[in-house]
Structure 1
Amino acid sequence: TGSNACYMEEMRNVEMLEGNQGQMCINMEWGAFGDNGCLDDIRTDYDRVVDEYSLNAGKQRFEKMISGMYLGEIVRFEGHAPSNSLALVLHSDRLALLQVRAILQQLGLNSTCDDSILVKTVCGVVSKRAAQLCGAGMAAVVEKIRENRGLDHLNVTVGVDGTLYKLHPHFSRVMHQTVKELSPKCTVSFLLSEDGSGKGAALITAVGVRLRGETMSA
């Protein structure tokens, strides 16, 4: 539904606590990124409408651009488009148009072939943007870790959970590619948690890294 991230920060950079030894887990609450207007240049009119009619208008703006809870709303049809329908539209190129037409019929809409192509294109663009924005945020985090540690290159493992990452046919691939392009000095490995909780993502990362004899960095 929503989106968040956390990472391990060096204690010497945590100003509110004394001591320079060790690390602390930082809960970024990155869904609120952009609430100060810093994302206004890339927000569209559709983003603004979704935000305006949400239960927390003006807040969690980044989350509303990348999380599964809102992607269907950005692409919405007369105000109703479940997020799982968006994923189904993109599941297979070969069957995509048939799936689009079936979904539109379920919504009580008659569609032409051109309509189906347009819907598929819009769903693809919105999904790709969400994955790229999520990847950009992740790239910024791993780059910060690398710079804070004074490393020329960082090997890092990231625990991930959520149905959008797990079930969307293209989201994870686009996100991974974006991280790779924006943080070339970092080698990022992703480990998927199956339990759908942030705690699960952290635990699966810790266990996976320990088994591989690495040092957990995120």
Structure 2
Amino acid sequence: MSTQSQDIRSEVLQILQCFQLSEDKLKDISDALEKEFVRGLGKDTQEAASVKMLPTFIVDTPDGTEKGDFLALDVGGTNLRVHHVHVDKELTTESEEEKIPEEKMTGRGDDLFDFIVDKISAFIDSQKLKDQVLPLGFTFSFPCQQKAIDKSILIRWTKGFSCSGVDGKDVVQLLKEAVDRKQGFKMGPVSVVNDTAATLMSCIYRNKKCDIGLIVGTGTNACFMEDMRNVQCVDCEDGQMCINTEWGAFGEEGSLKDVQTDFDIEVDKKSNNPGVHIFEKMISGLYLGEIVRVVLVKLTEDELLFGGQISDKFRPSVLRVLKTPSQFKTEFISEIEEQDKGPENTVEILNKLGLDFSRDLGRDWVEENVKIIRWVCKTISTRAAHLCAAAVTTIAMRIYANRIYANRGEKSTADRNITVGVDGTVYKKHPNFKKELEAMVQQLAPELHITFQDSEDGSGTGAALTAAVVQRLQNKKAEHDKREERGNGGSTSL
């Protein structure tokens, strides 16, 4: 390796150093998140907390006795999914998926909900369910203040959505109004859930011991069953309730300023929601590609990337491409980091971007630049995994503390076992994210045994299972009320 190449690598590594977080720093982040959890659960502090710890009104999980047919609707990313789920000893699912047009994501709220209802109606027709009135599990994966299992108020849009007329409104009511406008079908009772809660419910159906629902995809979030004694904003102290942490907003209060790089700040400023969801913008698929892009621009401008003997010919065209927002997609990171085909994938991606990154430029020159690009991708994806690990550790330690409390201070080996159900493209499709996440969780919480379980279409089946659990609880309550009524009647006749 030439002295010039060594100097370039040294400068690149120095620039990337700001993304590398020590174990102590990650523990500090975990501690800061725990403080925000406590604020979010407090009656007098929730409003000011960045992490809202929103009650979901899910107070029970699948026990295996649920039966019936249910519809499920998943809205929370770039795709709309509709499912018909039959629940018995096993789950059977029929599904359809369609990309949500950008004009629906950014236009009028009524237009978005009309689009959704049109797709549900077409799906019901295709499944020959028109004559049935089925309960609906509605996964709506945006920050919402849930007032009941069938009432959820949108706090704000994220993930590229910005529809007018929806903020501060009940999304279930907006869905019902669209159904009334379209008059294409009759809708049964609605159970609205976040994608994290749906993931948790789906995983619990397959593994009764699942404790945390985690999403690392377009956005990131997590939920868990919290002791009601800690949930001050709900007037009940018995049992547990699933809490939607909305941890993507962590950092809005300033606790991540010392780890937020200049590159993160640039991405945040140019996003459609600057100043909010700071944690999510360091981890999720909507932003990782953009962070890589701005780093590549910096390296190119400093002539550490795409420089050298052909700088005058090549570098200006590279900058024109890289300075286009959203040009470098997060999926490219996964392809570039593939162990076997990463270098070839990198060249192919750059050629697709119009950079004519061919072997004609010189083998050594190509290999050196490919190596730098792979360093950038690995550094930024690893930081995302480590930040996620710090947050998972926060929840796991909280669950463990609740178990010790329930056992009156006694600790057991079984109480140390925590299972995390996970969904999302970043977790599932990135070649190294899962490994980096699991390894760092083990470092941060060596006293616990934390395992990860892949969710199988959690947002769809989990929403249907939530509706099934709600139906089971309602049926149980109706039977109890009937017995009470018969008992009171008999008593009066005497």
Q: If the length of structure 1 is used for normalisation, what is the TM-score?
A: 0.86
Larger radius of gyration: 2
What do you get for the CA RMSD once the two structures are aligned?
Answer: 2.0
Out of 89, 98, 111, the position equivalent to 2:344 is 98
Greater RCO structure (CA 8 Å; 6+ sep) = 2
CA drift at 1:37: 0.9
SS across alignment from 1:149:
helix
Q: Which amino acid aligns with 1:161?
A: D
Question: Are residue 161 (structure 1) and residue 423 (structure 2) matched?
Answer: yes
Equivalent residues in 2 for 1:179-190, closer than 5 Å: 179-190=441-452
Q: Which amino acid aligns with 2:330?
A: S
Counterpart for residue 53 of structure 1: 270
List structure 1 segments (4+ residues) > 6 angstroms apart after TM superposition: none
CA drift at 1:119: 0.3
- CA contact under 8 A between 1:193 and 1:201: conserved in structure 2? no
| Identical positions, percent | 46
Greater Cα offset, 47-56 or 8-17: 8-17
CA drift at 1:149: 2.5
Counterpart for residue 398 of structure 2: 144
CA drift at 1:196: 5.5
Alpha-carbon distance between aligned partners in 2 of 1:33 and 1:22, rounded to the nearest angstrom: 27
Alpha-carbon distance between aligned partners in 2 of 1:125 and 1:53, rounded to the nearest angstrom: 22
Q: Which amino acid aligns with 2:355?
A: L
Alpha-carbon distance between aligned partners in 2 of 1:147 and 1:196, rounded to the nearest angstrom: 27
CA drift at 1:18: 3.7
SS across alignment from 1:75:
helix
CA offsets, 1:180-213, max 9 Å, x none? 111122211211113162873996xxxxxxxxxx
Change (3 A) 1:198 1:190: farther
Count of residue correspondences? 202
Unaligned ranges ≥5, structure 2: 1-217, 294-321, 358-365, 405-409, 466-494
Question: Are residue 88 (structure 1) and residue 350 (structure 2) matched?
Answer: no
Alpha-carbon distance between aligned partners in 2 of 1:143 and 1:3, rounded to the nearest angstrom: 19
Change (3 A) 1:3 1:144: same
Alpha-carbon distance between aligned partners in 1 of 2:381 and 2:460, rounded to the nearest angstrom: 22
CA drift at 1:143: 0.6
- CA contact under 8 A between 1:11 and 1:19: conserved in structure 2? yes
CA drift at 1:123: 0.2
Alpha-carbon distance between aligned partners in 2 of 1:202 and 1:70, rounded to the nearest angstrom: 30
Out of 336, 349, 353, the position equivalent to 1:107 is 353
Alpha-carbon distance between aligned partners in 2 of 1:133 and 1:198, rounded to the nearest angstrom: 27
Question: Are residue 120 (structure 1) and residue 374 (structure 2) matched?
Answer: yes
Q: Which amino acid aligns with 2:379?
A: V
Q: Which amino acid aligns with 1:107?
A: L
Question: Are residue 20 (structure 1) and residue 237 (structure 2) matched?
Answer: yes
Equivalent residues in 2 for 1:22-41, closer than 5 Å: 22-41=239-258
Change (3 A) 1:178 1:200: farther
Greater Cα offset, 108-117 or 167-176: 108-117
CA offsets, 1:46-67, max 9 Å, x none? 1001100000000011001001
Counterpart for residue 434 of structure 2: 172
- CA contact under 8 A between 1:140 and 1:183: conserved in structure 2? no
Change (3 A) 1:196 1:103: farther
CA drift at 1:20: 2.9
SS across alignment from 1:87:
helix
Q: Which amino acid aligns with 1:26?
A: I
CA offsets, 1:113-157, max 9 Å, x none? 211111000000000000110111001110111123326452122
Unaligned ranges ≥5, structure 1: 204-218
Alpha-carbon distance between aligned partners in 2 of 1:53 and 1:157, rounded to the nearest angstrom: 37
Alpha-carbon distance between aligned partners in 2 of 1:183 and 1:75, rounded to the nearest angstrom: 30
